[in-house]
Amino acid sequence: MATNELNWNSRQLTRGWQKGVTAFFYGLGLTEAEFDRPQVGIGVPLLEGNLCNVHAYDLAQRIAAGCREAGMLGFPFGTAAVSDNLTQGLEGGGASLVSRNLIATSAECVVTAHCYDTMIGLHHCDKNGPGFAMALARMNYPGLLLSGGTIYPGCYQGRDISILDVYDAQAAANVGALPQSEADAIRRLACPGPGCCGIAASFNTWGLAIEAIGLMPPQSSSTPAVDEAKHAECARAGLWIRDLLRTGLRTRDILSRRAFANAAAMIAAVGGSTNGVLHLLALAREAEVDFSLRDMQALFRRTPVVCSFAPRGEKTMVDLHRLGGASVLVKALIQAGILDGGIVTATTRSLAENVADAAEPPVAAGGAAGGEALIAPADAPFKPFADMQICFGNLAPEGMVFKVSSASTTRFRGPAACFDSGRAVSEAVEQGRIRPGQTIVLRYLGPVAAGMPEVVLAASALSVPELKGRVALISDTRVSGISHGLIGVHCSPEAAVGGPIALVEDGDEISFDILAGTIEWHVDAETVGRRRAAWRPPVIRRQRGYLADFAATVAQAHAGCVSQAWMQSR
Q: Report the Cα–Cα distance between both ends of the chain, in Å, rounded.
A: 32
SS3 category, 159: strand
Please state whether 140 falls in left (phi above 0), alpha (psi between -120 and 50) or beta: left
Q: Which of 292, 480, 492, 563 is catalytic?
A: 480
Are 386 and 268 a contacting pair, CB within 8 Å?
A: yes
SS3 category, 156: strand
What number of residues does the chain have? 570
Amino acid identity for residue 405 in this structure: S
Q: How far apart are CA 414 and CA 163, in angstroms?
A: 31
SS3 category, 419: strand
Buried b (16+ CB within 10 A) or exposed e, 94-131: bbbbbbbbbbbbbbbebbbeebbbbbbbbbbbbbbbbb
Cα–Cα distances (Å) from 33 to 24, 28, 38, 63, 71, in that order, read: 15, 14, 11, 21, 11
Could you confirm whether 480 is annotated as catalytic?
yes
Q: How far apart are CA 223 and CA 55, in angstroms?
A: 14
* Sequence-ordered list of residues with C-beta below 8 angstroms from that of 446, at least 6 positions apart, any chain: 452, 476, 477, 491, 493, 494, 495, 496, 497, 499, 556, 557
Q: How far apart are CA 496 and CA 452, in angstroms?
A: 11
Q: How far apart are CA 372 and CA 311, in angstroms?
A: 14
Q: How far apart are CA 226 and CA 405, in angstroms?
A: 30
Q: Which helix (H) or strand (E) holds 351?
A: helix 351-354
Candidates 269, 203, 208, 200; CA nearest to 484 is 200
SS3 category, 518: strand
* Sequence-ordered list of residues with C-beta below 8 angstroms from that of 10, at least 6 positions apart, any chain: 38, 39, 115, 116, 117
Q: How far apart are CA 389 and CA 401, in angstroms?
A: 6
**Cis upstream peptide for 130 (omega within 30°):** no
Q: How far apart are CA 239 and CA 236, in angstroms?
A: 6
What are the catalytic residues? 480
